[in-house]
């Protein structure tokens, strides 16, 4: 008998190598003041959600997406925000985090009541829509060039130190480093690890030290994360799982950039992050400053599916928000743009998996 979806997710969360407390309660005082960055990020997120909603509904005859996540426009400092914040915390503790969009068969969406558990459970998929201020193609091109340049510099230094005029000196001063470099290739430079020595008693030793230091600097570049990512916090995993246990609907993350969008199942996020062999190449774990220092899993978006293969750039205008005490916040508002749904990916990854 096939494993029930919510039971499979509960098992993956339970067996995760991370310290995930499924019983955690969300607490804390509401923030007292919004920032320009927060308002811009919210506008961008709302734009991304609407773009996905429209892309699905304009390109599917039998299925439709409906908004489901919190849609209030209140921000810290607004009248009524504290009550909204407290109610939102209670909801997170009761049923978890509602996904932004639900996808239904149109035949199941007649007289739809999203306050009714049975109605929500009839959805074939739930989408958590995330937005990111990058162009995927340009970022990838830049990173490929950076990696290529660093690799070429490493190879040039390697040849100089192994076969050039500094070869004998390196063998004499550090045979261990010489052996590492003699066997290194362009595909293994990122794996090299050695202590950069510093010698200065002769010009040749100074030159050798400079070359080793330069080599270390280029290897550091190769160690840096070079992929755009989908970034669930451990706290997010708890809240998404809590919602799944309530409604048993397949859950997906959809990362929207300004030129395309990638889909990855929540199940895959759990499976990938549990595989130590993939850490460093497919995912990383970071204490992310942008997420209040919370433990964040960053998974390479390229392991997902390109569900929206092209996005027309939206228009963007400056807006102003005046706070009660006279402070002005300036932020960016987005409108327009269009996402072009890859119907084959949508059918294969969402519709077929719902059967």
- pLDDT number for residue 158: 96
Q: Using one digit for the tens of pLDDT, what is the confidence trace for 134-169?
A: 999 999 999 999 999 999 999 999 999 999 999 999
- pLDDT number for residue 1: 47
Q: CA 50, CA 341: separation in Å to the nearest integer?
A: 13
| Tokens coding 312 | 């027309």
| Tokens coding 60 | 């599917």
Q: 44 and 131 in contact (C-beta within 8 Å)? A: yes
Q: 169 and 205 in contact (C-beta within 8 Å)? A: yes
Distances (CA, A) of 288 to 14, 68, 180, 232, 293: 23, 28, 34, 11, 5
- pLDDT number for residue 22: 87
How far from chain centre, in Å, is Cα 127? 14
| Tokens coding 58 | 């304009």
- pLDDT number for residue 291: 57
Residue among 70, 44, 59, 66 at smallest CA distance from 126: 66
Q: CA 223, CA 190: separation in Å to the nearest integer?
A: 6
Q: CA 245, CA 13: separation in Å to the nearest integer?
A: 12
Please identify every stretch of the chain with a pLDDT value under 50, giving residue numbers as ranges: 1
Residue among 9, 5, 6 at smallest CA distance from 271: 9
């Amino acid at each position: 008998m096939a494993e029930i979806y919510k039971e499979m997710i509960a098992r993956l969360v339970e067996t995760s190598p991370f310290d995930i407390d499924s019983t955690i309660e969300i607490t804390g005082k509401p923030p007292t003041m919004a920032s320009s960055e927060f308002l811009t990020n919210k506008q961008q997120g709302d734009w991304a959600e609407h773009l996905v909603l429209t892309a699905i509904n304009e390109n599917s005859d039998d299925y439709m997406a409906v908004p489901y996540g919190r849609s209030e426009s209140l921000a810290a400092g607004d009248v009524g925000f504290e009550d909204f914040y407290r109610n939102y915390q209670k909801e997170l503790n009761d049923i978890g985090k509602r996904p932004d969009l639900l996808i239904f068969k149109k035949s199941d969406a007649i007289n739809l009541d999203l306050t009714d558990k049975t109605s929500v459970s009839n959805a074939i998929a739930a989408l958590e829509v995330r937005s990111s201020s990058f162009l995927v193609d340009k970022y990838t091109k830049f990173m490929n060039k950076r990696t290529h340049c660093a690799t070429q510099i490493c190879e040039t230094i390697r040849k100089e130190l192994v076969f050039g005029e500094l070869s004998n000196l390196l063998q004499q001063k550090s045979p261990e480093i010489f052996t590492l470099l003699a066997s290194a290739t362009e595909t293994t430079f990122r794996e090299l690890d050695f202590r950069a020595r510093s010698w200065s008693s002769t010009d040749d030793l100074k030159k050798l030290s400079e070359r080793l230091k330069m080599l270390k600097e280029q290897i550091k570049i190769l160690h840096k994360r070079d992929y755009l990512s989908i970034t669930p916090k451990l706290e997010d995993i708890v809240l998404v799982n809590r919602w799944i246990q309530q409604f048993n609907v397949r859950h997906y993350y959809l990362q929207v950039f300004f030129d395309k969008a990638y889909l990855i199942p929540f199940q895959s996020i759990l499976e990938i992050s549990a595989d130590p062999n993939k850490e460093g190449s497919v995912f990383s774990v970071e204490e992310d400053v942008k997420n209040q220092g919370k433990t964040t899993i960053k998974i390479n978006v390229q392991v997902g599916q390109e569900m929206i293969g092209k996005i027309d750039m939206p228009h963007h205008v400056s807006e102003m928000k005046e706070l009660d005490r006279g402070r002005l916040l300036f932020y960016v508002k987005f409108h327009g743009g269009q996402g072009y749904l890859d119907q084959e990916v949508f059918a294969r990854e969402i519709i077929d998996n719902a059967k």
